[in-house]
Amino acid sequence: MFKQLLMAALWSAAGLIGQDTPISGHYLEDRSSRVYGCPCEFSGEYASAGREAVLAWKIESGEYQGQGLAGLRLAAVLAGNFTLSDPTSRRRSALFVDAGSPAEQRRAGLAWLQARYGDALGQVLGIHVLSIDLQIDAEGAALRIGDFLDLRMRRAKVEEDTPSWAFLLYDPLTKLTSATLGTTLRSQYSGPDLQMRWTRDEAAVTGYYGTFSLK
């Protein structure tokens, strides 16, 4: 029943009544392809990798439709039929909202997520209320979603983590006010809806972490 209420709130965001204020916070992104690498990595991955991504938000301040969102944590796991760096790639997603937040805040947060990031999320296959632990500081980030996802990332050391002829391949999938290249040390996912699982332990510059602010 609660899942049905969340889905209804998600698709009827335009019908909510309230006053918006800028939404700001921290953001994490990890992809299944390098965002900073050499030409051979780019050519090798473009057609066969980069179809999956993990996105997460930790909201620090702001209101959506009259509901304060400070403290709310949200996450999405994306899958595309082609690399997500191609804007024409058809996308599917599973959404996660932190179980430790009040129900009204969860509903408003999911509505905000769909309103702001609907194109990036594509077809939402399911919404899940789970414990979300998202930690971000200057040196790295970590994300755990129940028993479904475990992700650890540190600040990229470009000189050590990539060949000397490497360069920036992709910007973040969403607009950020500040962005730090991240070297993902571990990404493990086994969850519902998308019918996929992966474990990646190879250190590679496959993501970003930073801050966002949206009016």
The pLDDT of residue 167: 95
Contact 139, 145 (CB under 8 A): no
The pLDDT of residue 11: 45
Q: How far apart are the first and last CA of the chain?
A: 32
Mean pLDDT value of segment 7-20: 52
Rounded-to-integer distance, Cα 105 and Cα 103, Å: 5
Average pLDDT, the chain: 92
Residue scoring higher pLDDT (17 or 67): 67
The pLDDT of residue 126: 97
The pLDDT of residue 20: 86
Percent of the chain scoring above 90 in pLDDT: 85
**pLDDT score of 2 more than 60:** no
Contacts of 4 (CB under 8 A, 6+ apart): none
Confidence of residue 194 (pLDDT cuts 50, 70, 90): very high
Please report, for the chain, the start and end positions of each structural domain, with discontinuous segments joined by +: 2-214
The pLDDT of residue 7: 52
The pLDDT of residue 15: 44
Q: Read off the pLDDT of residues 143-193 as tens digits, 9 standing for 90 and up.
A: 999 999 999 999 999 999 999 999 999 999 999 999 999 999 999 999 889
**pLDDT score of 14 more than 50:** no
